[in-house]
């Protein structure tokens, strides 16, 4: 009675569940025993990226709401983001480094949501995007418009899998 879809890149896996209900809709949660076929660090993306621990098996309660689990070969504990300064018309170079347990995961892929806030504190939606990381980090360049306001910009990257956030500032001269 559950519809199931899996996305797998060989390391990171995304599992989607949706219960099918017949008749009256009521919240009758049901427990399912999941076998992941190996050990993974499990995050519940439907509940604020709650970390469920490292599991090969998991008993999961599914109600009538969709459920999304993200299985990673390593737990992302924290992330550090650094940025270069830039002149108007140039590019800001970002470098993200994550700290994982275990230290050297194989097949770790994550999607990071990028947000840029100007010196006035307003988000620059033109820079909003999602970028993929492979391994323990990524490098990214963001263009700076010729007419961009000078000042300190704030850049925030958020992991779609774990919810870990990294933040830094970049000077535009």
What pLDDT shows up at residue 23?
57
Mean of pLDDT values over 58-85 = 93
Rounded to an integer, the average pLDDT of 88-99 is 96
Angle at the Cα of 98 from the Cα atoms of 92 and 104, rounded to 5 degrees: 135
**Strand-pair partners of 131:** 112
Q: Tell whether the model's pLDDT for residue 115 goes beyond 90.
A: yes
What per-residue confidence (pLDDT) applies to 11?
A: 86
The model's confidence at residue 37, banded by pLDDT at 50, 70 and 90, is very high
More confident residue, 73 or 47: 73
What was the pLDDT predicted at 139? 96
Confidence of residue 159 (pLDDT cuts 50, 70, 90): very high
Q: How confident is the model at residue 30 (pLDDT cuts 50, 70, 90)?
A: confident
**Above 80 in pLDDT, residue 133?**
yes
The residues with which 110 forms a beta bridge, in sequence order, are 133
- pLDDT of 135 reads 87
Confidence (pLDDT) at 48: 87
Provide the β-strand partners of residue 157: 114, 166
For the stretch 38-58, what's the b/e string if a residue is b when 16 or more beta carbons lie within 10 angstroms of its beta carbon? eebbbbbbeeebeebeebeeb
């Amino acid at each position: 009675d559950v519809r199931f879809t899996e996305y797998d890149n060989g390391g990171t896996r995304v599992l989607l569940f949706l219960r099918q209900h017949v008749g009256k809709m009521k919240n009758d949660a049901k427990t399912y025993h999941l076998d992941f076929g190996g050990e993974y660090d499990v995050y519940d993306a439907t509940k604020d990226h709650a970390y469920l621990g490292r599991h090969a098996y998991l008993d999961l309660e599914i109600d009538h709401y969709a459920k999304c689990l993200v299985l990673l070969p390593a737990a992302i504990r924290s992330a550090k983001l650094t940025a270069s300064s830039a002149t108007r018309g140039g590019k800001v170079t970002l470098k993200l480094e994550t700290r994982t347990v275990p230290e050297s995961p194989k097949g770790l892929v994550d999607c990071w949501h990028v947000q840029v806030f100007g010196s006035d504190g307003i988000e620059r939606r033109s820079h909003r995007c999602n970028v993929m990381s492979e391994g323990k980090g990524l490098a990214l360049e963001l263009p700076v418009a010729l007419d961009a306001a000078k000042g300190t910009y704030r850049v925030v990257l958020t992991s779609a899998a774990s919810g870990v956030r990294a933040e830094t500032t970049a000077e535009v001269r």
